[in-house]
Chain A
């Protein structure tokens, strides 16, 4: 089943075109990696799919589970099963992780006509996910990402993904800021939460090191705002050896 289908997507920020006719199709059960040089449009793709204001789609279409993704508000995209892991997770002073995540989960459940989780049910779930990602449960009480190290923020993204349990995750440079142990923990988290026949992942990364832990089924090279090459896991190694310029040539 096709989860996500992008056709000829053009998008701009402040009048500057960043995505220039990008097409990509992702089926359930697949793990896709998008690699590319800085400025290729990788993060823009994530934000456009997430619906960040200011990222304007000028042409093309995106369907998610058969519906027009671009017609949905960002919170509706989340409720439909999409999760955007941020390259720089945002700090929110004054709102605790527990409150934030419970609001998020229950808003999504409400959108799907499911019963909200009680405080106790939610805490059990959140603590369980934190433990699996080796994050101290005390951090759940702290304001969202405030005072977290780069690695802690990324782990916190994974805890959120585990709690929310999306059908489709776009993970933007989830490997940046991680030491080798954290990389393994986060990689294991992605496999555990997202490797399923009814789920899919779009892994946006600059380097192949995360791909040692999360084996992609497809690797795409994004350059100049469009996909210039698609291959299997071996393409990541080729890119690492020869650089983007070499592969693109």
Chain B
């Protein structure tokens, strides 16, 4: 399925200014690519869903508790294209779902898939997604968390080529927790676009990750967290590492409504340039209408500490390895938010592999 001319948003619109829509169109126009046959599932129990070119591979999937249903995909310019049948994880009151792993294998051209995660009161779930292959993978995800529900998500974008666009819309009920960690460590372009709404009191959203870019690649996140309830917390911790002539862009916004008192919103956006030809764009944004809130934001871009590099070299560590160690330390806080050790190890290994290749 290929659209001759894509009807895409304009980069003249502020929310899309850093989007690499050219790369997205090019990915959509990629010819068929043989499916990456490697096993990208981690050693975790629970459901395993394999989507090849956006289509469920029934034979190699094990749905345990996940269903395939029609999903309305909202109005977002890219997200809306994913409307149709997709995967749904529903977890009932006080239940704990087995881990859910989803591997998306792009096979050239464009593929679209919607999804939904709905957790009832006190329910909890863990979802790990992996993007591999080449082409344009476009996804929509709706998350609804009931009172005190807990969702831990980890998403790694390691496509070899093409583009991955993710649109996520989440609504958190009272005391719900959403922890999502992204890793962009492939050679594809990407855009992570999210709207998180803190709808119930004392809910917590941690939404962040690491984008590693090289060559002429561009990756970005554009995340808005809206606090509509009292005592909510949101933490957006993003790290970007850009090598060669690549660009990484981090835009993170916090909106605090008039009644959302006692909100604690934190944004930490940091960029590291491995070469002076690379670019990191940072845009922290705060819109606060309540008067009793704590919102901290930090945004810095820099290079590796030359003296730290020399210190490591003087102890015998060759430059590429010293650079890798310092860069890995730089992204460590972002990946350290992944609680599951198996998942965290896999993500760190992907980050290491990226560093080995880039340096």
Pair count A-B, CB < 8 A: 78
Decide: B318 and A75 in contact? CB cutoff 8 A: yes
User: Which of A9-17, A30-38, A83-91, A120-128 has 4 or more CB atoms under 8 Å from chain B?
Assistant: A83-91
B313 proximity list for chain A (CB < 8 A): 51, 73-75, 78
A89 to B329: give the CA distance in the assembly, Å: 18
Q: Which label, helix, strand, loop or mixed, suits the secondary structure of the A interface?
A: helix
- Cβ of A75 and Cβ of B325 under 8 Å apart? no
Complex alpha-carbon distance, A206 and B4, angstroms: 75
Docked complex: A86-110 residues within 8 A CB-CB of B: 86, 89-95, 99-101, 103-105, 107-108
A58 contacts B by Cβ under 8 Å: no
Report if A90-B316 is in contact (Cβ < 8 Å); known contacts: A95-B325, A103-B325. no
- Pick the contact of A79: B316, B322, B333 (CB < 8 A): B316
- Does B296 make an interface contact (CB < 8 A)? no
Are the C-beta atoms of A105 and B311 separated by less than 8 Å? no
Does A50 contact B318, Cβ atoms closer than 8 Å? Answer: no
Q: How far is the CA of A79 from the CA of B321 in the complex (A)?
A: 15
In the complex, whether B319 has a CB less than 8 A from a CB of chain A is yes
List of B residues within 8 angstroms of A77 by Cβ: 314
Nearest B residue to A50 via CB reads B314
Q: Residues of B contacting A73 with CB < 8 Å? A: 313, 318-319
Please report the C-alpha to C-alpha distance between residue A104 and residue B312 in the assembled complex, in whole angstroms: 7
B307 touches A90 (CB 8 A): yes
Q: What CA separation (Å) do A28 and B40 show in the bound complex?
A: 56
A205 an interface residue at 8 Å Cβ cutoff?
no
Chain A residues with CB below 8 A from B325, complex form: 95, 99-100, 103
> Which B residues between 149 and 198 are near A, CB-CB below 8 angstroms?
none
Task: Enumerate chain A residues within 8 angstroms of B312, measured Cβ to Cβ.
Answer: 92, 100, 103-104
Cα–Cα, bound, A40→B321 (Å): 34
Separation of A94 and B314 alpha carbons in the complex (Å)? 19
Q: Which residues of B contact A167 (CB under 8 A)?
A: none
Contacts A74-B310, A86-B311, A104-B312 hold; do A92 and B318 have CB atoms under 8 A apart? no
Please name 7 further chain A to chain B contacts, defined as beta carbons within 8 Å, in addition to the given A73-B318, A90-B307, A90-B310, sorted by A numbering: A50-B314, A75-B316, A75-B319, A86-B314, A90-B305, A93-B329, A103-B317
A-B contact pairs, 15 of them (CB 8 A): A50-B310, A53-B306, A75-B315, A75-B319, A78-B316, A86-B311, A89-B311, A92-B308, A93-B329, A100-B315, A100-B317, A100-B325, A104-B312, A104-B316, A107-B316
B residues apposed to A, CB below 8 Å: 305-308, 310-319, 321-322, 325-326, 328-330, 332-333
